Structure formats: C-alpha cells, structure tokens
Structure 1
Amino acid sequence: MMRIVLFLATNLAILMVASVTLSLLGVGSVHDGQGGMNLTSLLIFCAVFGFAGSFISLFLSKWMAKRGTGTRVITQPQTRQEQWLVDTVAELARDANIGMPEVGIFPSRASNAFATGWNKNASLVAVSEGMLQRFSPNEIRAVMAHEIGHVANGDMVTLTLIQGVVNTFVMFFARIIGNFVDRAVFRNEGSGPGIGYFISTIVAELVLGILASIIVMWFSRQREFRADAAAAQLTGSGNMIAALERLRAEQGIPVEMPGEMTAFGINGNLKNGLAGLLMTHPPLEQRIAALRAGNYR
C-alpha cells in the first residue's frame, strides 16, 4: 500500500511541476494544426516532463527510501553495535570529505545496504539487519565505504541527469514516430492527432524505453565499479573483496529491496545473458576480479 501511495504522490508532483513550468515557458500545443509538429515546443515539453520526474524522484529519494524499505534512522544509538555503526560512517564520511549522512537500519534478512539523497552533504546510508547479523565488522565497514563512495562520487545526481536526458529523447522520438505513423499509415488527414498517434506513441515509448534502459543500466553498473574502488581506497581492497565474497556466498537469499531502490543497493538482482543488460549491478565475480587486478575503473 505504501508503494502505491508513494507512486501516486510522485506522479502528482511531476504533473504539477511540469504544468507550472510549461505555463511559465509559454509552451503551447506541440501540433501545428496542419498535420505537422512544432519540434521546439515538443522538445521543451519532453525535457520538462523528462527531467521533472527524475529530479522530483531525486529530491524525494530519502523520504521514499525510508518509507519504502522501513528504514529506522539512528538518532540516538541504543546499542553498542548502533554506536559503532554511526562512528564508522562518521569516520568514512570524514575521510571522503563529505557531510555526515543519516545512518539507518532496515528490516531484511538479506544482506544489503544502500545510499541515497540529493546532496552529498545531506545523504542517507542504511544497512540491513541481516547484514549486521552475519557480516564481520571489517566487511560491514567496507560495505559502508562502498555506499559512502556512491555519495562522494555524486552518483545519485549523475544517474538522475542521465535518466532525465534519456526520458526526454524517448518521449521526443516516440511522439515523432507516432505522428508519422498516424499520418502515413492510419491516413489521418485531420488538423489534430488521431487514434493512430496515441497508439503508436505508446508502443514507441515502450520499445525506446527498453533500449534507453540498457544505456542507463550500463552507467549504473559502471558506478558500482567506482564505488568499489572508493571502498578499496578507504578500507583496503582485501576488506571489500571479502565483503563481495560474502555477498556471493549468500546469492540464494532474496534481495528483498523495493524495485525503485534496487539500483541504490550494494547487492542487485543479477541475471545472465540479454537480461544482464538491464541489471543495475555487474556480476559479483567481475567486481571481485576488478579489485584483485587493481582495475578500479
């Protein structure tokens, strides 16, 4: 139920922001009334909606992550382990030259952790209860360093910008294709778009969206290598390799992360073959091999 509420709230915010922005920019109809399209207005329209969704998701990321995963932020450590976790994150943040993140624990028997937030000085890092129970202190420290690496590298903002660009051009070309099919195939000779435009645009968005996701997921996998490298520099490559080896040994345990948060976790759902092109994380074997070879990307 909470995921549905978050989804509806996010989309409502996107519509409100996009509508106000388009009104301020004076963008009217993207159709010229003669069967053609105003490409300038269309590009602005697509950019506003494409980037609005990405940036609103970024600004709401901490709020959504806390509620989507049930993360409990440690405001006052209640146990020795919580105090150690907060102190460890503080030390790593200081070494990485970023502001102290919020530190949280989320209920999951799977070993996982994530980082999110719109600003490297106002982020959130969280670890699962399962990881705290089964990983050694050095392995947990390496995982936290990996998440701090994401924050220090500005990965959340970078991925948001990439997603915004991708969203813009998927919407832009889908509508051009839809207009062409509507006129050339459905023989619509009216002044406005016909049913062929809407059907073709939806189909084109689905196809182009899948192709665009391959690009976004490639960037996501590269940032995992960079975060591993940051962890190796902060805690030593041996500790990071040990943490990844432990994750590999637990691959049979479901990840149990909401879909929208999978890209921000250290342990993604891994597949082989064509499906691997749409995965947020590279295979653990590749990450371990890169660290052992000193190839930090």
Structure 2
Amino acid sequence: MSRLAFRAAAAVVGVALLGAYLTAALFVADLLRAAWAARPDLPALLALAAAVALGSAYLSYRLGTAQVLANLEGDRVPRRRASDLHRRIDALAARMEVERPDLYVTDARAPNAFAVGSGTTGGALVIDRSLFRLLSPREIEAILAHELAHLETNDGFAIAMADGVGRVLVGFATVLALPALLALSGLAAASAWIRGRPGDRSGPFARLHRALAGALFAGFVLATLVTRSRSRKREFAADDRAAEVTGDPIALARALRRIERATDPSWPLAPFSAHKRTDGAAERWLSTHPSTDERVERLRERAESEGPTRRIPAGPSGATGGRGRSRR
C-alpha cells in the first residue's frame, strides 16, 4: 500500500473513531441532561444524593462484614470450650460497657486478631489460634481489650462508611466527567490516525484526557488517604483505651512486638504469608495501622507517666528503633 493510500485509510479510520466516540459522549450527555431536568428541588436533591451515598456505603459494610465471617477458616467457640477466655472477654466487655461479641478462633497463616460489627448491637471477635501459643495471658487480655475498644466506638462502621461515601462521591464525579472523557478520547485517537501515527498519544487532546483522568484518580487516592489516616488514629485510640482498661500498657506493647516478630519475614519462625517490611512513604500513607514502633513508643511513654517503667521488648532487629508494620 502506498503512503498516500495509507494516509487516506488512516484518516477514514480516524473520522470513524471520532464519530463513534462523540456519539457515545452525546448519548451519555443526553442521559445526564435528562436526569438533571427531572431532578427535584435542591434540598431534596442533596438529601437524595446523601441517601444514595450513605445507603450504598452501609450496604457495602454489612455485606463485607457478613462475607468476612462466612469466609473464616475457623469456628465460633462456645463457652464450654474456652471458659477462661470467655470470662476474660466478659469482664472486659462489662468494664467497657459494650455488647459482648461472639468469639471465633481461626487457623490463619499469621497471628492476628480483629473485631467486626458493632459494640451496641453485638459483633464478633476473631482470634487466630497461634496467638495463644505466642502471647501470655496478660498479653492476650491486652489484645482483646484493644479489639473491644474498636467495637466500643464502632470504628469499623465509621471507617467503612467514610470510605464508602468517598468512593461514591468520586463515582459521581466520574459519571459527570464521562462525556468529556469520551470526547477527548475520541479526539485523541482520531487526531493520531489522521496524522498517520495511530499509536501516538502525545497530542493536546490526549494530554487533556490524561489530565482529567488523573484528576479523578487523585480524588480517589485522596479519599483513600483520608480514610486510612482516620484508621491509623483509631488504632492509637484503641491502644490508649486498652491500656486504660487493663492498667498495663506494657502488656500490649509486648504483645505487639511478639506479633511483629512472628510476622516479619526476617524472623526465623515467620510465616510465608507475611509481608515484607518497608520504609516506603506511600505504604505508610496507605496503611490502615501505624508502625509498631510508634505504637510501642506511645505505650512506653504512657507506662512511664503512670508508674514504674518496665522493659519494652526489642524490635525484630534487636532494638526499638526499626520500623515495622503493625499486624494488629
């Protein structure tokens, strides 16, 4: 095929692509205009948008909680099988005035514990079996208090709702920007074909498309960072509440260190499923938990301010100065 024939064919393809993309953009724009024309007055519209955002976030939270419990590789533990553990949970729940959660024991690959549900309507406390071999009774109690603190303030619900609302808002923005995204994508593809360089995406329309898509992605990242920041603050708050209830901040600090050691790949007995520790800023920002070092240091300072100092367990490297991701 001669160069002139190729350019002519490429131009035809470019015009066809432009027509297809613009048709799709106009169709979506017409749908949005129709929806806008049928809108209620502003207060009702805002109420409807809030209801959609909150409702979808709540539904996602409920379904996610149910799925977590359904996928557990463990069983609900009745009182007769672990009477001492149940008594500890009863005492802590009474002290913290939370509805007593159901107890589940799992057989995961890494020592962990977490709580799901609400402290007012009942929740679930999930403990990996390896923690009973790894931690002392006082340390187990500290971990239980930490998890009950999350139930006490409904942290899981609040964080899930904030995350869900943020995602819904970014989704709304993406839908509103969809006609522009389609139009810019068509213009970028058409101009490249017409210039005879189908794979070239360096033109102005392509740059505008990337800028708009990047702004939407930045909104998603920002919503995620805000939620993760809130989650890390709630971990500190749960540590403080556990230390207050048990009166033994060092027990929680020791438990956190033991769990960190058991889940660090550099530790000889670490499970294969553990994640590698990192000092990367992006991972710290996206983490739901503060580093173990930060948490242990806060607990050590609390113990020193409340009474005689106790020995703080060293980190995986043999000192408390290294950074590590919390598994709890």
Q: Would the TM-score normalized by the shorter structure come out above 0.5?
A: yes
Counterpart residue number, 2:22: none
Q: Is the 8 A contact 1:106 1:129 kept in 2?
A: yes
Alignment length, in residue pairs? Answer: 246
Once the two structures are TM-superposed, the CA of residue 68 in structure 1 deviates from its matched residue by 2.2
Counterpart residue number, 1:66: 69
Partner of 1:210, secondary structure, is helix
Measured on the aligned residues, the alpha-carbon RMSD in Å equals 3.7
Counterpart residue identity of residue 242, structure 1 = R
Q: Is the 8 A contact 2:99 2:122 kept in 1?
A: yes
Pair 93,183 (structure 1): closer, same or farther in 2 beyond 3 Å: same
Once the two structures are TM-superposed, the CA of residue 98 in structure 1 deviates from its matched residue by 0.8
Counterpart residue number, 1:99: 99
Once the two structures are TM-superposed, the CA of residue 54 in structure 1 deviates from its matched residue by 2.4
Counterpart residue number, 1:264: none
Give the unaligned 5+ runs of structure 1.
Answer: 1-28, 188-195, 258-267
Pair 36,278 (structure 1): closer, same or farther in 2 beyond 3 Å: farther
Pairing 1:290–2:302 present: no
- From 231, 234, 249, the counterpart of 2:261: 249
- Bigger shift: residues 48-57 or 157-166: 48-57
Once the two structures are TM-superposed, the CA of residue 171 in structure 1 deviates from its matched residue by 1.3
Partner of 1:294, secondary structure, is helix
Partner of 2:114, secondary structure, is strand
Report the TM-score, using the length of structure 2 for normalisation.
0.64
Once the two structures are TM-superposed, the CA of residue 271 in structure 1 deviates from its matched residue by 4.1
CA distance in 1, matches of 2:95, 2:38: 53
Give the unaligned 5+ runs of structure 2.
Answer: 1-29, 188-205, 265-269, 304-328
Q: How far does the alpha carbon of each residue in 1:66-90 deviate from its partner, in whole angstroms, 9 at most, with x for none?
A: 2222231112432xxx211111111
Partner of 2:290, secondary structure, is coil
Counterpart residue number, 1:192: none
Q: Is the 8 A contact 1:270 1:283 kept in 2?
A: no
Counterpart residue number, 1:281: 289
CA distance in 2, matches of 1:71, 1:42: 45
Counterpart residue identity of residue 285, structure 1 = D
Percent identical residues: 23
Once the two structures are TM-superposed, the CA of residue 278 in structure 1 deviates from its matched residue by 1.0
Counterpart residue identity of residue 259, structure 2 = L
Equivalent runs, 1:213-232 vs 2, <5 Å: 213-232=224-243
Partner of 1:69, secondary structure, is coil
Pair 106,239 (structure 1): closer, same or farther in 2 beyond 3 Å: same
Counterpart residue number, 2:157: 157
Equivalent runs, 1:162-177 vs 2, <5 Å: 162-177=162-177
Q: Is the 8 A contact 1:174 1:201 kept in 2?
A: no
Partner of 1:168, secondary structure, is helix
Counterpart residue number, 1:32: 33
Once the two structures are TM-superposed, the CA of residue 59 in structure 1 deviates from its matched residue by 2.4
Q: How far does the alpha carbon of each residue in 1:145-202 deviate from its partner, in whole angstroms, 9 at most, with x for none?
A: 0000100122022112311321232112222333334456747xxxxxxxx9xx9998
Structure with larger Rg:
2
